[in-house]
Structure 1
Amino acid sequence: MNEVLQNIKARRSVRAYTDRQVSAQDLDLILEAAAYAPNGMHYETWHFTAIQDAAILTELNKVIKGAFAKSDEPRLRERGQSETYCCYYHAPTLVIVSNEPTQWWASMDCACALENIFLAARSLGIGSCWINQLGQTCDDPEVRALLTRLGVPQNHKVYGCAALGYESANTSQKEKWIKEGTITIVR
């Protein structure tokens, strides 16, 4: 089978990581792959913020939980009050993907970049998982202040994040299948 197709079919979301950090060289390759993703009008209005500092990741999780604790939605409030909840599954690296919300295609550009991140990570033996929580909370004042401090442009909305790291040995991966009726071909 074609190597690219094999990589696509083998990719799975990883939610349990070892402490081993993603190397600077591998992170650079992953971020370069993100920047090569298709984007509207080739404007490249997106921004990628990679965090590998454990203390900052802990602080980010804390402010996200703080935003959740204020939510009207019971499920989010519960996460905000949980002592053990970690939105990035304790991955040693988190890449925040943001864009100017004034571009109607901003979310699509970010989705393409995130998929490139996931596929590049998989090709390097690095596990990944799409993380949505910052997209839900990036307008909270405390979350926004931290994002700005981390270099996320003030005029950007977060459209998703990628948790990156090496998969814990004791986790199992779900089988992937294509749901019946998913594909229609008109010839």
Structure 2
Amino acid sequence: MNEVMNAILTRRSIRKFTADPIPAEVLEDLVKAALHAPSGMGKQTWQFTVVTNQEIIHRLCGLIGTELGREGYDMYGPAAVIIPSNEKESPWGKEDNACAMENIFLAARSYGVGSVWINQMQNINDRPAVRALLDEIGVPADHVIYGVAALGYADPSVPVEPKERTGKVVYVK
């Protein structure tokens, strides 16, 4: 099978990671994949913030949990996160970041790295405590985060079963 199709057909959302770190070279390739995603009119108004510092990841999780009333929230314990952000005024920011996230997920799969989309950030970006942490890690104040790529190696104790894929397909010839 074509390796791209294999990555697409075998990618799953991983909801429990091991503590094993992801090599820097792999993270660099994942960001390269993100940078090669399509963007509205080719504007590329995004930024990708890569966080491997576990203390910062834990702080971010704690802030998300506090802001959303989800005590113990942990993003499934990732080794790293890639935070795509985009200009608030970009009419295509959400779509651009979604394309970049998919590229990250498929590239991660090709390296044996698990991933899951974390969507909790999109409505809490500008809450003071969250914004302070985003400022600290260099996310521009005029950017919004629509999703976070939580990354790590899948915990083997949690089986990842393939899901049946449904949806209507219509061919018009």
TM bucket normalised to smaller:
over 0.9
Identity %: 43
CA distance, structure 2, for counterparts of residue 60 and residue 41 of structure 1: 32
5+ residue gaps in structure 1?
A: 69-76
1:133 corresponds, among 111, 120, 131, to: 120
- Farther off after superposition, 132-141 or 144-153: 132-141
Q: Report how many residues are paired.
A: 173
**C-alpha deviations, 1:131-178, integer Å up to 9, x for none?**
011112112111011101101111000011101111111111132222
Aligned residue for 1:91?
A: 78
Partner residue in 2 for 1:73: none
- Residue 60 of structure 1 corresponds to which residue in structure 2? 60
Give a deviation string over 1:9-54, Cα, whole Å, max 9, x none: 0000001111101110000000000000000111110010111011
Distance (Å, rounded) in 1 between the aligned partners of 2:3 and 2:56? 36
Q: Which residue of 1 is the match for residue 158 of structure 2? A: 171
Matched to 1:92, the amino acid is: A
Instruction: Pick the aligned partner of 1:118 from 105, 111, 117.
Output: 105
- State the partner residue of 2:12: 12
> Given that residues 49 and 83 in structure 2 are in contact (C-alpha distance below 8 angstroms), is that contact kept between their aligned partners in structure 1?
yes
Q: Which runs of 5+ in 2 are unaligned?
A: none
Q: Which of structure 1's runs of 4+ aligned residues deviate more than 6 A?
A: none
Normalised to the residue count of structure 1, the TM-score between the two structures is: 0.89
2:88 equivalent in structure 1: 101
Q: Is the 8 A contact 2:12 2:162 kept in 1?
A: no
1:144 corresponds to which of 128, 131, 134: 131
The residue type equivalent to 2:20 in the other structure is R
Q: Give CA-to-partner distance per residue, 1:87-133, whole Å, 9 cap, x none.
A: x1111101111101211111000000000000000000100000011
Provide the secondary structure at the position in 1 that maps to 2:146: strand
Looking at structure 1, the residues matched to 169 and 131 of structure 2 have their Cα atoms a distance apart, in angstroms, of 40
d(CA) in 1 for partners of 2:73 and 2:116?
A: 16
**Amino acid across the alignment from 2:73:** Y
Q: Does 1:184 align with 2:170?
A: yes
In the alignment, residue 172 of structure 2 is paired with which amino acid? V
Deviation at 1:64, TM superposition (A): 1.5
Q: How far apart, CA to CA, are the structure 2 residues paired with 1:178 and 1:65?
A: 31
Matches of 2:110 and 2:21, distance apart in 1:
16
Q: Distance in 2 between matches of 1:183 and 1:21?
A: 40
Contact 2:62 2:73 in 1 (8 A): no
